[in-house]
Structure 1
Amino acid sequence: MEEKKFDYNSLIGMILLGAIMLWYFNTNAPEITPESTTTSVEKVSKKNAPKKEVFPTNTASFSNDSIKEIEFKNKLGAFAMSAMQAQEGTTILENELVKLTIDNKGGQIKEVLLKKFRRYDSLPLYLIKDNNASFNINFGTTDNRILNTKDLFFKPNFSKNGKNQVLTLRSKVSETQFLEYRYEMKSNEYMIDFSIRSTGLSGVFNTSNPINLSWNLNAYRNEKSIKTENTMYTEFYYKAEGDVDYFKVDTEDNVNDVDWVAYKQQFFTSNLLTDTPFNKAKLSTTDLVKDEKIDTVFTKRFQLVTPLSLTSGELNYHMKWFYGPSDYNLLKEYENTDLAEISDLGWGIFGFLNRVVFYPVFNFLKGFLSNFGLIIILMTIVVRIIMSPLVYKSYLSSAKMKVIRPELNALLEKYPGKENAMKRQQETMAIQRKAGVSMLSGCIPALLQMPVFFALFKFFPTNISLRQEGFLWAPDLSSYDTIFTLPFSIPFYGDHVSLFPILASVAIFFYMQMNQSQQANMQMPPQEGMPDMAKMMKIMIYLSPIMMLFFFNNYASSLSLYYFVSNLLTIFIMLFIKHFVIDEAKIHAQIEENKKKPVKVSKFRQRIDEAMKQAQEQQAKQQKKK
């Protein structure tokens, strides 16, 4: 058999043939160019579609910078230049009171730290942090894009204007075309100047699309009591058409000519003010607390959406930010703004008393005392001394009624039964008139004290000076005190026991006991068919302390402290008047003297007497017919 040998010539031929084939395919491969890609896109586009810049979708042959530029141009259009040049980062504006962190992306405030305050759990108090707020301007462009400033990149420039810190941020289309945000922070101020200005963008803005500003905020929980902070004192305030108004939870409102909006919580507020009023603003708030018994991060969501107008094709708005305490003493310093109404001192006479009486007295005492519990006690003493003449008037009327009570009881025997009710009433009024006694003289002093009660009901829970200030066993006079935590929750009472409401309830019980004996003298003798007022008073003696105990268990301990001290002082004043001021013998002698004097009857009284006489005659005729 013939032996096979290796053919070197065949091997060399195969190698040469493979090399020729590789050279052929490499030199004749089809080339992919940007032009060819653009052409293919144009073929599938519709005839009437808006003209847009179209960029290659195959980026394999481009550098990373080119890919980034394409992405920015597709997303941001004319503002891609700033996105390419800007860098991600933040700038800090800081003074003695507040620290702002402002993001290059969006040019918006990323963090707000109030440096002099702490949360209920002693952590730093942030009004804005971890993307709980958003400030954005939405607008259309002439290349048919809808852009949001929160997506734009701004180039920061920090400078100083005297002692003021100035941060200017620009998002550029070109060196002469840009959108600018400007922040200016003053020393020792919560108010920050803020302006929005565009330059050379009249040809960029698409005027057929509205330019909308939106500001959203999820309000952090800052206080111990979620119920008190969220349900009672967290509200959306705004000034529109010259008037300040507010609404609470899950509400939406459309208003015109808005000068400012305030996302107000119990003690802190986030405000946006504008020199050029917002027109057709949409305001809304949503409750984020699902269960007050469960710990929560946020209380309410606030939202403002409003269109912005162009002046000569450009944006030009001067505004202000206010992030700080809703302190009446502070907010009233901003004149011609009405921001002080955010403090919620009550309406009408209640707010008047707080502004004119209680805040001046409180501020005066605060000037030389640092213990706020003692300030409340001294303030209570001042209020009770001022109110003591009313207590004296009420007690004096009670003593006079006690003196003439035997005569009133005699009328019941003289004119018994329902048929003589009108005559009995007429004779009773005549006896009172001759003795110089009026039922109203006992009621009016009590009624005059009611505005004080309701005014202070607003004063203490909203006074930020009391926040986190302790007294005796209460660590925070602006919130409830706790001496014992219950393993369960009692409806309307809560899961804790507060001592100040218990003391206030005990004091009001003894006050009601004393007041009941006084009121017994003021009451008319029990008549047939009429409710027994004495029994009703006894029910109130036991019901009022229980109601106060339940109602004030979750309220500010400063309020319970005030009512405790106030009731104690009232008891001492009543005892002092009874034993050292009122002399029943003198009162009796004075009444007898008054009876001898001729009584001047007014025309109004004459008409009442005539009407009662006619009613009595008519009643007598009806009885005769029966």
Structure 2
Amino acid sequence: MDWQKNLLIAAMVAVIILLVIRWEEFQERQALNTAAVAESQVSSARSDNDVPAVVTNDVPQPDVPGATPAQQATGQLIEVATDSLLVSIDPRGGDIVNVALPKHFAEVDTPDQPFVLVDNSGTKTYTAQSGLVGPNGTDSADGRPLFVSTDYNFQMADGAGSLQVDLTTEQDGVVITKRFTFYRGEYRVEVNYLINNASSSTWQAALYGQIKRDSHKPNTANGFGMQPFVGAALTTEDERYKKFSFDDLEDKSFKATVEGGWISMVQHYFISAWIPAQESKNQYYLRQQGNQDIFLMGFTSPLMSVAAGETKTFGAEFYAGPKDTEALEAIAPYLDLTVDYGWLWWMAKPLFSVLKYIHELIGNWGISIIALTIIIKAIFFKLSATSYRSMARMRKLAPKMKDLKERYGDDRQKMSQETMKLYRDEKVNPLGGCLPMLIQMPVFLALYWVLMESVELRHTPFLWMADLSVKDPIFILPLLMGFTMWLTMRLNPEPPDPMQAKIMKMMPVVFTFMFLWFPAGLVLYWVTNNTLSFLQQMIITRQIEKSESASA
């Protein structure tokens, strides 16, 4: 019995220590973010010398038709507005330098301020770059092309399904049009190059797309617990989903050649990604730019040739938006794995599918979480019942265990022998209460990650809470969680050791404190699970007590 309790207490202490460490890391990251902002303000004028290394320095700087010195000096951005995206495009290079999501607010109480995903402001570097490199490429280590467009403001018309924004430049008789195509209700943008080769020689270049970003990490509201991944991710020939933190890229660059594939920048709830042509072999790279706090995550497509007098089109897709599983699945194979459920993804994905199906029927995410928890408890009902019966029998043995402790407390060998004899006589399995619970743990951990990663919970109200993805503003759920945990522990057998008993009594208080900062959706799951566990255990305990009273 002692070894079992010691193991349980050791596991709980380990969990507490890990959570405290996570909290300290969270605080350190906040401090690092502040330092990174200060650093970026000092060195905001960074070089554009970040095109892929295949570019040679002898590529001539192209002439730009119709671009007056005044236009070049203003640096005016091209603004594009659709129902789901607000995008700013820099004419210099045709890069996407800002993406805001009007359907996702920055804060739940500021619906007039859209969430900004891509942000190349004075304090942050986060840009989606694309261009042409190679023999006739427009982008080189010496500079980027300047495009011109018919307007600086574009808005999708009511009822229109798409919007095209064309940027043009000219290079020695070759007219190059960089076309952005936006779609209603989508976060996907097609970026195509239309090459009209009116020159007398063959034109050759390769398309590249890359995400240029510093290492700042968005603020999260998770408090204690597992923190969402922030960093680069891609698919390779060997791994469907391979991710790199910024620390990984500081240590070592990465290169891979993949047929199709994608490259992404992942953070909590949201993602940006380049998806090149899936029928071609694309070269992917991840690296730090010099010693700066700048990281490049990109691809280079195979060399494209356009004969004299021909016109050809090639390009890629750029996604900037929420981690919507269905949308990402439709764009490219394995892109949906950026909804990172950890090593239990094979269990978490079906759980999320069930949760989403329940929501389609009910229409409320809070009630859907409760309903899914009930379904899971029903599936494990018999297994839990076995565990609770064992605990109830162990509780009945508490007085006898205490007596053994008083008689043989100083003789560990004799105490162990008498304890095992008591178990045999009473037909009690000391592991009967632990093993069924251990079998269920992977399911509950998977559900934890489902609720952690589901962007659908962001800014979703339930009862008095305006947002299930952040902490309960008045801490009712954490207090209920602690209360239900205390009720459940009262039904468990009390450890014979006084120190162990004190530690066990402190656990509800400790976990209540930690859960104060957990997202409300996760705490709602724990409250529901604890309540169901308490009710089931109480019923089973009373049934056993009545049965023993009747037999007596």
Does TM, scored on the shorter chain, surpass 0.5? Answer: yes
Q: Contact (CA 8 Å) 1:95, 1:189: kept in 2 or not?
A: no
Q: For 1:515, what is the secondary structure of its paired residue?
A: coil
1:464 matched to which residue of 2? Answer: 455
1:609 matched to which residue of 2? Answer: none
- 1:308 and 1:127 map into 2 onto residues whose CA distance is 26
Q: Contact (CA 8 Å) 2:59, 2:135: kept in 1 or not?
A: no
- 2:136 and 2:363 map into 1 onto residues whose CA distance is 63
2:186 matched to which residue of 1? Answer: 189
Larger radius of gyration: 1
Which letter does structure 2 place at the counterpart of 1:117?
H
Q: Which residue among 117, 133, 151 is the counterpart of 1:127?
A: 117
2:12 matched to which residue of 1? Answer: none
Q: For 1:440, what is the secondary structure of its paired residue?
A: coil
Q: Percent identity?
A: 20
2:103 matched to which residue of 1? Answer: 116
Which letter does structure 2 place at the counterpart of 1:264?
V
1:260 matched to which residue of 2? Answer: 262
Question: Does structure 1 residue 354 correspond to structure 2 residue 336?
Answer: no
1:8-53: CA deviations, max 9, x gaps?
Answer: xxxxxxxxxxxxxxxxxxxxxxxxxxxxxxxxxxxxxxxxxxxxxx
1:383–1:199 distance in 2 versus 1, CA, 3 Å: same
- 2:355 and 2:137 map into 1 onto residues whose CA distance is 61
Question: Does structure 1 residue 338 correspond to structure 2 residue 334?
Answer: yes
Report which stretch shifted further, 119-128 or 189-198.
189-198
TM-score (norm 2): 0.69
1:76–1:171 distance in 2 versus 1, CA, 3 Å: farther
1:197–1:457 distance in 2 versus 1, CA, 3 Å: same
1:365-423: CA deviations, max 9, x gaps?
Answer: 32243443333333333333333322211122345557889999999999x95676897
Question: Does structure 1 residue 279 correspond to structure 2 residue 283?
Answer: yes
Q: For 1:80, what is the secondary structure of its paired residue?
A: coil
- 1:228 and 1:410 map into 2 onto residues whose CA distance is 41
Q: Contact (CA 8 Å) 1:516, 1:538: kept in 2 or not?
A: no
- 1:137 and 1:247 map into 2 onto residues whose CA distance is 24
Report which stretch shifted further, 146-155 or 543-552.
146-155
Q: Contact (CA 8 Å) 1:127, 1:220: kept in 2 or not?
A: no
Q: Which residue among 88, 92, 103 is the counterpart of 1:105?
A: 92
1:172–1:116 distance in 2 versus 1, CA, 3 Å: same
Query: Matches of residues 164-203 of structure 1 in structure 2 within 5 Å?
Result: 164-175=162-173, 177-196=174-193, 198=195, 200=197
RMSD, aligned CA: 4.6
Q: For 2:362, what is the secondary structure of its paired residue?
A: coil
Q: Contact (CA 8 Å) 1:137, 1:148: kept in 2 or not?
A: no
Task: Report deviation, 1:562.
Answer: 2.0
TM-score (norm 1): 0.61
Q: Contact (CA 8 Å) 1:140, 1:205: kept in 2 or not?
A: no
- 1:411 and 1:507 map into 2 onto residues whose CA distance is 31
1:375–1:317 distance in 2 versus 1, CA, 3 Å: same
Task: Report deviation, 1:225.
Answer: 3.1
Task: Report deviation, 1:264.
Answer: 1.6
- 1:461 and 1:95 map into 2 onto residues whose CA distance is 29
1:588–1:422 distance in 2 versus 1, CA, 3 Å: same
Task: Report deviation, 1:450.
Answer: 1.5
- 1:573 and 1:144 map into 2 onto residues whose CA distance is 69
Report which stretch shifted further, 550-559 or 151-160.
151-160
Which letter does structure 1 place at the counterpart of 2:231?
E
Q: Contact (CA 8 Å) 2:396, 2:493: kept in 1 or not?
A: no
Which letter does structure 2 place at the counterpart of 1:251?
D
Task: Report deviation, 1:211.
Answer: 8.8
Question: Does structure 1 residue 250 correspond to structure 2 residue 247?
Answer: yes
Q: Contact (CA 8 Å) 1:92, 1:99: kept in 2 or not?
A: yes
Task: Report deviation, 1:202.
Answer: 11
1:510 matched to which residue of 2? Answer: 487
Task: Report deviation, 1:256.
Answer: 0.6
2:232 matched to which residue of 1? Answer: 236
Q: Contact (CA 8 Å) 1:229, 1:266: kept in 2 or not?
A: no
Which letter does structure 1 place at the counterpart of 2:348?
N
- 1:231 and 1:427 map into 2 onto residues whose CA distance is 46
Q: For 1:166, what is the secondary structure of its paired residue?
A: strand
1:481 matched to which residue of 2? Answer: 472
1:396–1:542 distance in 2 versus 1, CA, 3 Å: closer
Query: Matches of residues 289-438 of structure 1 in structure 2 within 5 Å?
Result: 302-304=295-297, 309-312=302-305, 318-334=315-331, 337-348=333-344, 351-357=345-351, 359-399=352-392, 431=425, 435=427, 437-438=428-429
Task: Report deviation, 1:142.
Answer: 8.3
Task: Report deviation, 1:231.
Answer: 5.4
1:39 matched to which residue of 2? Answer: none
Query: Matches of residues 132-147 of structure 1 in structure 2 within 5 Å?
Result: 132=125, 133=127, 135-137=129-131, 139=133, 146=140
1:118–1:538 distance in 2 versus 1, CA, 3 Å: same
Which letter does structure 1 place at the counterpart of 2:189?
I
Q: Contact (CA 8 Å) 2:387, 2:436: kept in 1 or not?
A: yes
Report which stretch shifted further, 189-198 or 389-398.
189-198
